[in-house]
Structure 1
């Protein structure tokens, strides 16, 4: 499976909108970990890795940022996240980095696995051999 944007329900109300997530209905894996990144200084890049097993959804809860994904053929796709009612699904073995954080951006990461340093692929050359890039 390739990275794909998932649309989440958006319930509009004059008092403010509401979006929710429910496992099995909107998320293609059982949630094992949730974390968020914030206060990223201007010009900084987060990520720069892939996971052996972990699947992830990234949501821009506030502000905006770009997720740059390296595809199997070595090309890249940029996903601009700036709405809290959709998220980017990243399957395992997807190389990514996040850049262009706006001021006060907040990125929610929903993961299929608990944290494990052994699940990270941090060397792009190793990643290329795994993916035959």
Structure 2
């Protein structure tokens, strides 16, 4: 399988619209508008024990927007050459991750909720779960 040559520089923070009201704030997300892809799957992680790491994989085709719906955590992006750490701690910021980027999710605060908007339905065949395999694919060694 071919692994996209995207780099960590192709991933970016997207500021989502925030409607401020004295009764509370609202952020609405529309598929293909605020998010640069059509949303096919939504899931969230919660009750993550302190010190745990999540992620530890890359995708062949899947695009994601990761949002800290509550609390905070760090996303470590890795393109096989460069690593970049991004802290998510505002529910109106999303991290857009392109295919072919390894991600580790660390430093979860108590009560964190990590919301993921994904471009594809779940498919185990789209995952790369072994880091050495990821590096080989990024270097063109199948």
- TM (normalized to structure 1)? 0.95
Output aligned runs, 1:18-97, within 5 Å. Answer: 18-73=26-81, 75-97=82-104
Determine the C-alpha separation between the residues in 1 that align with 2:14 and 2:138.
24
- TM (normalized to structure 2)? 0.89
Instruction: Indicate yes or no: 2:108 matched with 1:107.
Output: no
Q: What is the root-mean-square deviation of aligned Cα atoms in Å?
A: 1.2
Unaligned runs of at least 5 residues, structure 1: none
Partner SS for 1:118: helix
Residue in structure 1 matched with residue 3 of structure 2 by the alignment: none
Unaligned runs of at least 5 residues, structure 2: 1-5
Matched positions, count:
132
Determine the C-alpha separation between the residues in 2 that align with 1:122 and 1:72.
14
Structure 1 outlier segments of 4+, above 6 Å: none
Instruction: Indicate yes or no: 2:138 matched with 1:131.
Output: yes
Shift, 1:129, TM fit = 1.7
Shift, 1:17, TM fit = 0.9
